[in-house]
A and B are shown apart, each in its own frame.
Chain A
């Protein structure tokens, strides 16, 4: 069964490369569950699997010219799936790190005494006080005043990427301070 499927995948791809659109569609129909299984084994159902499945299918289509020998189709396809999965996870974790510090979240985790003694603005000032002056200003502008990174860059005469890096460092520092119980 395994061998017959492998052979048919290879035959379908060869037919598709000779211009057979029906074979090409059939190939994608056959590989979609395989890719779903591959991703489910690695991601579970916690992440948006349908998006990544389509990304892998798209990559297989775009790289169809690189299947050019009589080697196993599945090895070629899963190499692409693995590459796209790593790419997806990199982007996912990068996004997760950047959004990790939420001011609302910090406020909720503070002890009752602190919230009773300070107003929200005083509280934020104290939290931001652990940051260097420049980072304080960037975080204030981006998270409290609602400026975009480009607007902050213009105001502070910095490059946009420098602003983003600085903000990222500030969030990271806040996370560390929070974990250490210092804020």
Chain B
């Protein structure tokens, strides 16, 4: 087809109405995640020692860190849905900061001898934690993926991994409100590693699924 004819066709079809600002999209996601969070906690109930745990700074810091990861990853994913990432490609690194700080703190606890040896922890085979995090992550991740796919991501792997990280971080927080295990080794092996796993699955899924975006 001749380029001028193609342009005439575009003009006849017209430009599409612009999407809301990425922050507005992220805000919508986070509002829905908050509703999901409340519903899930109402369904599953809190851990038996929640009153004691609220008084522990490390526990609060842990939840705050993972919530910060979930929120910043959702914001990064909403910008990554745009072809030029809204000119803020550095945003994708922000969610890694709280999760890395938290991971380092957990490693430090293990190094100081306050935790179960990692090998013993692996032998505990807490696949229920892995499955719970995956279960909690599925609905928010699907919702985010569908929204991103309607935009036009050019960094598909990053967009997918940020959606996966946001959803799984939320799953982590939910699990920590339910599950009574606080051992640092367990938190790394059966909580943080599943978060990384969901993030990687998100990366691969992003690469495959976002091929069908508006740029396909």
Instruction: Determine whether A76 belongs to the interface, using a CB cutoff of 8 Å to chain B.
Output: yes
Instruction: Determine whether B8 belongs to the interface, using a CB cutoff of 8 Å to chain A.
Output: yes
Helix, strand, loop or mixed for chain B's interface?
Answer: loop
Add 13 more A-B contacts to A65-B16, A79-B84, A80-B152 (CB < 8 A): A16-B14, A17-B16, A17-B17, A21-B11, A57-B7, A63-B151, A65-B19, A68-B19, A68-B20, A68-B82, A71-B86, A75-B84, A83-B83
**How far, in angstroms, from A62 to B112 measured CA to CA in the complex?**
56
A63 touches B7 (CB 8 A): no
B215 touches A84 (CB 8 A): yes
A17 touches B15 (CB 8 A): yes
**A residues within 8 Å of B by Cβ?**
13, 16-17, 19, 21-22, 24-25, 28-29, 32, 50, 53-54, 57-59, 61-69, 71-72, 75-76, 78-80, 82-84
Q: Which of A13, A61, A63, A78 contacts B13 (CB 8 A)?
A: A61
Instruction: Determine whether B21 belongs to the interface, using a CB cutoff of 8 Å to chain A.
Output: yes
Instruction: Convert B147-179 into 0s and 1s, putting 1 for each residue whose CB lies closer than 8 angstroms to a CB of A.
Output: 000011010000000000000000000000000
Instruction: Determine whether B26 belongs to the interface, using a CB cutoff of 8 Å to chain A.
Output: no
Instruction: Determine whether B81 belongs to the interface, using a CB cutoff of 8 Å to chain A.
Output: yes
Instruction: Determine whether B38 belongs to the interface, using a CB cutoff of 8 Å to chain A.
Output: no
Contacts of B151 in A (CB 8 A): 63, 65-66
**How far, in angstroms, from A22 to B16 measured CA to CA in the complex?**
14
| Listed A/B pairs (9) with beta-carbon separation below 8 Å | A25-B11, A28-B11, A32-B3, A57-B10, A62-B152, A65-B15, A75-B87, A80-B83, A80-B215
Q: Which of A54, A71, A72, A80 contacts B6 (CB 8 A)?
A: A54
Instruction: Determine whether B18 belongs to the interface, using a CB cutoff of 8 Å to chain A.
Output: yes
Instruction: Convert B113-154 into 0s and 1s, putting 1 for each residue whose CB lies closer than 8 angstroms to a CB of A.
Output: 000000000000000000000000000000000000001101
Contacts of A19 in B (CB 8 A): 14
A62 touches B3 (CB 8 A): no
| Minimal Cβ-Cβ distance residue in A for B18 | A68
**How far, in angstroms, from A64 to B19 measured CA to CA in the complex?**
9
| Minimal Cβ-Cβ distance residue in B for A12 | B15
With A71-B84, A80-B83 in contact, is A24–B152 under 8 Å at CB? no
A28 touches B7 (CB 8 A): yes
Contacts of B18 in A (CB 8 A): 17, 65-68
B6 touches A57 (CB 8 A): yes
Q: Which of B3, B10, B81, B87 contacts A50 (CB 8 A)?
A: B3
**B contact residues, total (Cβ < 8 Å):** 29
Min C-beta distance of A73 to chain B, whole Å: 10
| Minimal Cβ-Cβ distance residue in B for A75 | B84
Contacts of A79 in B (CB 8 A): 83-85, 154
Q: Which of A21, A63, A78, A82 contacts B214 (CB 8 A)?
A: A63
Contacts of B55 in A (CB 8 A): none
**How far, in angstroms, from A111 to B10 measured CA to CA in the complex?**
56
Contacts of A29 in B (CB 8 A): 7
B12 touches A21 (CB 8 A): yes
Instruction: Determine whether B51 belongs to the interface, using a CB cutoff of 8 Å to chain A.
Output: no
**How far, in angstroms, from A71 to B18 measured CA to CA in the complex?**
13
Min C-beta distance of B24 to chain A, whole Å: 9
| Minimal Cβ-Cβ distance residue in A for B12 | A21
**How far, in angstroms, from A75 to B10 measured CA to CA in the complex?**
21
Min C-beta distance of B90 to chain A, whole Å: 15
Min C-beta distance of B76 to chain A, whole Å: 16
B83 touches A69 (CB 8 A): no
